[in-house]
Chains A and B, each alone.
Chain A
Amino acid sequence: MKIIKTALHYWIAIVSVLSFLVGWGMLAHSLKPVQASSQTSTQNTVSLPALPPIQAFGGLTGNNSGSGLNLSVPNNPPPVSVFPRLRSGGS
Chain B
Amino acid sequence: METFAFRAMNSDILLAALGTPARTSEGFEETRRFIQACENRFTRFSEESELSALNRSAGTPFQASPDLFAVVALAQHFFHQTRGLFDPSILPDLKRIGYDRSMDFLRADGPAPLFESLLVEEHPSFSEMDLDETRGMILLPPGMSLDLGGIAKGWIAEQAATLLSDFSSACAVNAGGDMFLIGLPEGETHWPVAIEDPLQPENDLTTIQVDPGAVATSAVTKRVWKQGEKQRHHLIDPRTREPAQTEWLSVTVIAPHAYQAEVFAKALLIGGPQELEELSRRGAARFSYLAVDHDLKIWGNQNSLEGLYVNRTL
Bound-state CA distance A80–B215 (Å) is 21
Return chain B residues, CB-CB under 8 Å to A91: 11, 150, 153, 175-178, 216-218, 222, 262
Scan residues 37-91 of chain A and give those whose CB is less than 8 A from a CB of chain B: 37-38, 41, 45-49, 51-54, 57-58, 60, 69-74, 77-78, 81-91
- Residues facing A in B255-314 (CB within 8 A) are 262, 273-278, 290-291, 297-302, 304-305, 309-312
Complex CA–CA separation, A5 to B207 (angstroms): 77
The count of chain B contact residues (Cβ–Cβ below 8 Å) is 68
**Contacts A38-B242, A78-B192; is A69 near B312 (CB within 8 Å)?**
no
Residues of A within 8 A of B222 (CB): 89-91
Give the shortest distance, in Å, between A30 (CB) and chain B (any CB).
Answer: 9
Would you call B35 an interface residue if the criterion is a C-beta within 8 Å of the partner chain's C-beta atoms? no
Residues of B within 8 A of A47 (CB): 274
- Among B22-30, B55-63, B72-80, B193-201, the one that faces the other chain is B193-201
Chain B residues whose CB sits within 8 angstroms of the CB of A58 once the complex forms: 297, 312
Q: How far is the CA of A73 from the CA of B209 in the complex (A)?
A: 12
Q: Given A38-B242, A71-B305, A83-B16, does the pair A88, B274 have CB atoms closer than 8 Å?
A: no
Nearest chain-B residue to A72 (Cβ)? B309
Inside 8 A of A72's CB, which chain B residues have their CB? 309
Interface SS of chain A: helix, strand, loop or mixed? loop
B123 to chain A, nearest CB (A): 13
A21 to B131, CA, bound (A): 46
Q: Which residues of B contact A90 (CB under 8 A)?
A: 177, 196, 198, 217-219, 221-223, 250
Q: Can you list 19 A-B contacts with CB-CB less than 8 angstroms, sorted by A residue number? A: A41-B240, A48-B274, A51-B273, A51-B291, A54-B304, A57-B298, A57-B310, A73-B312, A82-B1, A83-B1, A86-B174, A87-B193, A87-B196, A88-B179, A88-B217, A89-B250, A90-B177, A90-B222, A91-B178
B-to-A contact residues, CB < 8 Å: 1, 3, 11, 14, 16, 115, 118, 120, 150, 153, 172, 174-179, 181, 185, 187-188, 191-198, 201, 204, 206, 209, 215-219, 221-223, 239-242, 250, 252, 262, 273-278, 290-291, 297-302, 304-305, 309-312
Q: Contact residues of A with B, CB < 8 Å?
A: 24, 27-28, 32-34, 37-38, 41, 45-49, 51-54, 57-58, 60, 69-74, 77-78, 81-91
